[in-house]
Amino acid sequence: MRTVYLNGDYLPETEAKVSIFDRGFLMADGVYEVTTVLDGKLIDFDGHAVRLQRSLSELGMGNPISKDDLLEVHRELIRANGIEQGMIYLQITRGAPDDRDFAYPPEDTPQTIVLFTQNKPTLADNPVAKQGIKVISIDDQRWARRDIKTVQLLYPSMGKMMAKAAGCDDAWMVEDGAVTEGTSNNAYIVKGNTIITRNLGNEILHGITRAAVLRFAREAQMNVEERSFTIAEAQAADEAFITSASTFVMPVVEIDGAAVGTGKVGAIATRLREIYLDESRKVAI
Ligand code: PMP
């Protein structure tokens, strides 16, 4: 059984209980982060801590834990659960007032903070990275502040189910004719030596992996264009891939039934995955 963290306590997972009045439960009034663990160490902890603070600030929520304490909790959970490879899920909500109300509760309402580990022993050696994944396109029906990492994940969850029903692995969401992102990842195409991914804004989550991968791509003398692209452009690209904390760089070989490039995993996505894993491991804490 896992040891989890809830509001200052380390508990067996079955003993960690949250109120039925918690705003995360009633209103999706909460934010989250997922940080990857490789070799028992945290990948890009700083990036996740900075984005967490930004999500909280954008929603006018306090931060119940200092960055140092947050790091300590992550490390203690890695230790207590013997995690070599996997993820740490963190969620902070506006807390549990004594009744349901649309208005925010008083500022002094204690927030809820939960962290738990997910053990994934084959995360880095994921065989799927050698095959690539297939995606479908779907309409982007999420709210307009996707830059805030809220726990309001029903539409992405529906998107994964639509992909599954179509015999695919994930869905790329499209708004006004352009791809925004994957249901839980950022989306990229490759044309020649150029990597194209949507520019940052309120329309997409500012991926921590995205920032790192674009930096490594530039360092490796690849061109990076941060701009919108269509599904038709993606289908005609040489390669496509996604990034996220837990999938790293994952090739996409098919979009809406059309093979991308050769229909096989591409050289650039493969190289970026290797660089990302190597470089991230070097600076893991
Ligand atoms: N976009 C969305 C919608 C996501 O849910 C995620 C992962 N949580 C990402 C992008 C990738 O972000 P990161 O690289 O920080 O995991």
Residue extents of the structural domains in the chain = 3-119, 128-283
Q: How confident is the model at residue 31 (pLDDT cuts 50, 70, 90)?
A: very high
DSSP lists the bridge partners of residue 133 as 252
Q: Answer yes or no: 149 catalytic.
A: yes
What is the rounded distance in angstroms from the CA atom of residue 9 to the CA atom of residue 252?
Answer: 41
What digits encode the pLDDT tens for the residues 197-224?
999 999 999 999 999 999 999 999 999 9
CATH of domain 128-283: 3.20.10.10
* Band (225; pLDDT cuts 50, 70, 90): very high
Q: What is the pLDDT of residues 162-200, one digit of tens each?
A: 999 999 999 999 999 999 999 999 999 999 999 999 999
Nearest-angstrom CA–CA distance, 131 and 152: 31
pLDDT at 63: 97
Extract long-range pairs of 256-259: CB within 8 Å, 24+ residues apart: 256/135, 256/136, 256/137, 256/231
Best residue among 42, 186, 204, 273 to mutate for probing ligand 1's pocket (most ligand atoms within 8 Å of CB) is 186
Tell me how far the alpha carbon of residue 225 lies from the centroid of ligand 1, in angstroms: 19
Q: What CATH fold (topology level) applies to the domain 3-119? A: D-amino Acid Aminotransferase; Chain A, domain 1 (3.30.470)
* Mean local confidence (pLDDT), 257-269: 97
Instruction: Tell me whether strands 133-139 and 248-255 are parallel, antiparallel or unpaired.
Output: parallel
% of the chain surpassing 90 pLDDT = 100
Is the shortest distance between the CB of 184 and ligand 1 below 6 Å?
Answer: yes
Mean pLDDT, rounded, for 258-274: 97
- Cα distances (angstroms) measured from residue 84 to each of 33, 81, 113, 259: 19, 9, 23, 35
